[in-house]
Amino acid sequence: MHEGKGKERNKGIMRFTKMQGCGNDYVYVNGFEEKISARQKPELVRRLSDRHFGIGGDGVIFINPSDVADCEMEMYNADGSRSEMCGNGIRCVAKFVYDKGIVDRERFTVVSAGQIKHMELTVEKSENPEDRTYNGGRGVAVKVRVNMGSPVLVPEQIPVQVSGDKAVDVPITVQDKEYRMTCVSMGNPHAVILAEGVRDMDLAAIGPDFENHALFPNRTNTEFVEVIDRNHVFMRVWERGTGETLACGTGCCATAVACILAGKTEDKVTVEVLGGELLIEWDRAENIIYMTGPAETVFEGCVEV
């Protein structure tokens, strides 16, 4: 990643954009223009993410120049820790760079923690070239299909400390209760639990013990999933470094993989989350996961840093 030629911030004022995908909301910062040092970022992220004293969000994502892709997504959880990938976040990054004219194509690439992902946008246009809502004839991105790459099931690559060549339907004990989990990395670690009564589960009571379980050296995201039918599942997620969120794109991908491996769904499945729905498809011939879902801008503003 190179620094790029950015505009200097005026007296400690930083511009930001609040965006959300299925209710998974982040504060987005244009790293092409705003220059924040690596040392400043963890504390800044914690302050901006606070829903009472800051802007509020599940974390902060910096959108930076890149030498290997059209842009870089630099993602932080709400607690200031770095994360490798965010499916809802990367869709919003794609919308941001297209709508802002940083990228002028409807197909392009975004890199996050060394992983290059391919974006394909659905663009909504207006026939009125003066219509600022839709950038005139150019339009705005309303939906993004992302090639999320191949799911990783090898335990040491997730990482999860279990035996065998795949962490599929393996036991985990939390608060003296045994669960069965399938562990998947979509660039970040996930533990998927198939269960009943997911809507009524007390995730705040059990989520932290899954996240910080000794089996996960880098902590984990945990998905609790109820199968509705072969094309539709419901999922709630406890995200590493943030807590329960309304959605998790990589978690939806991991959920689909776990359900397909268990023989519970078809290879294309709608994952319903508290904030909406994502369509996940596993092309098993190519071993590629495709995620399709919305991305929305909520508001823009300035904040002192």
Mean pLDDT, residues 65-70: 98
What pLDDT does residue 138 have?
Answer: 84
What pLDDT does residue 125 have?
Answer: 87
What pLDDT does residue 1 have?
Answer: 38
> pTM of the predicted model, to two decimals?
0.90
The per-residue pLDDT of the chain, averaged, comes to 94
What pLDDT does residue 11 have?
Answer: 59
Are the CB atoms for 46 and 82 separated by under 8 Å? no
- Angle, helices 249-261/87-99, rounded to nearest 10 degrees: 130
Mean pLDDT, residues 197-220: 98
In this predicted structure, the answer to whether residue 28 has a pLDDT above a threshold of 60 is: yes
| Confidence category of residue 2, pLDDT binned at 50, 70, 90 | very low
Are the CB atoms for 139 and 106 separated by under 8 Å? no
Are the CB atoms for 59 and 47 separated by under 8 Å? no
What pLDDT does residue 128 have?
Answer: 76
How many CB atoms lie under 10 A from the CB of residue 22? 26
253 given a catalytic annotation: no
Distances (CA, A) of 10 to 15, 33, 47, 283, 303: 10, 12, 20, 48, 11
290 is written with which tokens?
Answer: 């495709």
Residue of 22, 71, 183, 248 marked active site: 248
Burial grade of 262 (CB within 10 A; 0-12, 13-18, 19 or more): middle
Cα distance between residue 222 and residue 73, in whole Å: 23
Cα distance between residue 258 and residue 223, in whole Å: 10
What pLDDT does residue 8 have?
Answer: 47
pLDDT tens for each residue of 171-181: 999 999 999 99
Cα distance between residue 7 and residue 5, in whole Å: 7
92 given a catalytic annotation: no
274 is written with which tokens?
Answer: 């508290």
Could you tell me the fold of the domain covering 13-149+294-304? Diaminopimelate Epimerase; Chain A, domain 1 (3.10.310)
Per DSSP, the three-state class of 49 is helix
Choices 3.40.50.2300, 3.90.1150.10, 3.20.20.140, 3.10.310.10: CATH for 155-286: 3.10.310.10
What pLDDT does residue 162 have?
Answer: 97
Question: Which residues contact residue 286 at a Cβ distance below 8 angstroms, ignoring those fewer than 6 apart?
Answer: none
Residue of 71, 86, 252, 253 marked active site: 86
In this predicted structure, the answer to whether residue 87 has a pLDDT above a threshold of 90 is: yes
> Where do you find CATH 3.10.310.10 in the chain?
13-149+294-304, 155-286
In this predicted structure, the answer to whether residue 135 has a pLDDT above a threshold of 50 is: yes
Counting every residue, how long is the chain? 305
